[in-house]
Amino acid sequence: MKIRLLTHPELLTDEIQLINALFAEGLACLNLRKPNFTAQQYEDFLAQIDAQYHPKIILHDHYELCEKYKVRGIHLGEARRRSYSPEALLALRQKLQKAGLALGSSVHERATLDELAPSHFDYIFVSPVFSSISKQGYGPKEDWTIGGYKAQYDFNIVGLGGIDLDSLGAAAEKGFEEVGALGSVWLKGEAAPAYFAKMLAACQALLS
């Protein structure tokens, strides 16, 4: 199983140092989501991350920074994605492919996942798979057991919500080949890199 990390939506103490340490531990992909940042704050934050890790970062906003920082791709939130027609989404996907950039988005209902099948995203976040760690009272409304139907989609389905060291096995049983962590890691503070390293090891063990 693969695992990626989403940034905390707010700025955390020593966050840049923690992110660099997380990459050093083996983090393969970071989704950079800071919804309250200005364009300048977002760029300043990105610029402080070690440049060798920029190709592992997905931008959730300020896509104009892609070329300058040689990032991995962009993520369209659900509301932003809905502002695109199917034709515009396909055109965006083709443009990004030519530039070597990935395109992702998010859904919270299985029916919406079905609507996206022809749109050719690289990955789609589905959530919440389990009760959220960072959002109190936010639990699953869908049974995201994707093992029986994930093959019909031409994009990777990434499970979010309640992903921690204890739930990785259950996520694998649901058919997920990749998950995304957030609250479980950032709540550890300065111990976040060590905790994430344990999650990585557990993911590797699930492959054996």
pLDDT at residue 36 in the model: 97
Higher pLDDT, 97 or 135: 97
pLDDT at residue 208 in the model: 72
pLDDT at residue 11 in the model: 98
Q: What is the average per-residue pLDDT within 27-48?
A: 99
Question: Per residue in 139-154, pLDDT tens?
Answer: 888 999 999 999 999 8
pTM confidence score: 0.96
pLDDT at residue 115 in the model: 87
pLDDT at residue 47 in the model: 99
pLDDT exceeds 90 at position 114: no
pLDDT at residue 83 in the model: 95
Higher pLDDT, 186 or 141: 186
pLDDT at residue 207 in the model: 84
Band (pLDDT 50/70/90 cuts) for residue 136 is: confident
pLDDT at residue 137 in the model: 80
CB 179 within 8 A of CB 146: no
Q: What is the average per-residue pLDDT within 54-61?
A: 99
**What is the rounded CA–CA span in Å between residue 159 and residue 174?**
10
Question: Per residue in 151-177, pLDDT tens?
Answer: 999 899 999 999 999 999 999 999 999
CB 129 within 8 A of CB 177: no
Please state the three-class secondary structure of 108-133 as a single string: CCHHHHHHHHHHCCCEEEECCCCCCC
pLDDT at residue 134 in the model: 83
pLDDT at residue 45 in the model: 99
pLDDT at residue 118 in the model: 75
Domain limits for position 161: 2-207
CATH of the domain at 198: 3.20.20.70
What's the chain's Rg over C-alpha atoms?
16
Q: What is the mean pLDDT of the chain?
A: 96
**What is the rounded CA–CA span in Å between residue 190 and residue 130?**
25
pLDDT at residue 200 in the model: 98
pLDDT at residue 191 in the model: 98
**What is the rounded CA–CA span in Å between residue 166 and residue 147?**
20
* DSSP category for residue 156: E
Give the total number of structural domains in the chain. Answer: 1
